Amino acid sequence: MQFFPLFDTLYGMNLKNLTIITGMSGSGKHTLLKSFEDMGYFCVDNLPIQIVADLVSIASSQGGNFTHLAVVVDIRVRALLKDFDAIFESLRKNPFPVRLLFLEASDATLVKRFSETRRPHPLAREKSILEGIRLERKQLSTLKALADQVIDTSDFTAHMARRYVADHFRNAGTGGTMITSIVSFGFKYGIPMNSDLVFDVRFLPNPFFLKELKKKTGHDKAVIDFLRRCPDTEGITKRIRALIAYLHPRFLKEGKSYLTVSIGCTGGRHRSVAIANMVTALLRKKDLTINLIHRDLGKDL
């Protein structure tokens, strides 16, 4: 790979944000990188971490038009693990935010993806795909421990990956902020893998069992009115809001960059959607920037 034309292009960047994407082969790093590119990031795939450090040094030396940079580093570069800790900590000393995203997926998901694409796993030239995956997972364990955020893509489609990036990183800012996401979901589809806090609202009366409300959602006034008639709706909404408002400045002080609060009901269509909307509205009154995501709303009844 020839880097000098790339450096010529980047020279003069006034960097405000660096995102390093790494993780398991087959976990969707390239798809995530393309999503950052769609948001206006300057993106580079398959760079040695040593080159990333040089690139940032050159890119930060002058003012320029490019302000956000995203790069993928992974096991395809055999020198990935060499000096990664020291180089990454050095990058952290820059005056702009540097975040490390680690993508992973279940063994079964990765095996399926490699089987479908018929591409060889980079560590399974003389092994089975599963053996290569397990070896890579072991080798990358130290990188995973360094990550600001671990993203499990087992259930992601390409569209969901693009949506995830837009919802979580579009308003990332330039430091001193924490990206807070409120996610409604259905327990029947599993708890969101990236959750920091999980609230179960299945104790609330279920609109699903009323014929006139079954096909509606937590966005509909009829469902909202039905839930508001239960005193517990206001109680749980205010308590979730109060806990997040209490934790937010403390997490921010501790240096946390991302907070995902998941609110679940059975199917992720009625109660969790309504409560997530209510909690978000209350938090926005407190001037908190919130990403609101209804993960399972579009799934069939």
pLDDT: which is higher, 57 or 191:
191
Pairing of strands 17-23, 98-104: parallel
Segment 160-217, tens digit of pLDDT: 887 788 777 765 544 446 778 999 999 999 998 788 999 999 999 999 999 999 999 9
Q: For the chain, list the domains and their CATH numbers.
A: 4-175 (3.40.50.300), 180-294 (no CATH)
| pTM score above 0.85 | no
- Order of strands across the sheet with 197-200? 197-200, 258-265, 179-186, 290-294
| Total number of residues shown for the chain | 301
The end-to-end CA distance of the chain, in Å, is 50
Segment 58-98, tens digit of pLDDT: 665 554 456 788 999 887 766 667 778 888 888 888 888 88
Output the CA–CA distances (angstroms, integers) from residue 145 to 14, 81, 137, 140, 192, in the order listed.
29, 13, 12, 9, 20
Q: How far apart are CA 21 and CA 126, in angstroms?
A: 27
Provide the phi-psi class of 147: left if phi over 0, else alpha when psi is between -120 and 50, else beta. Answer: beta
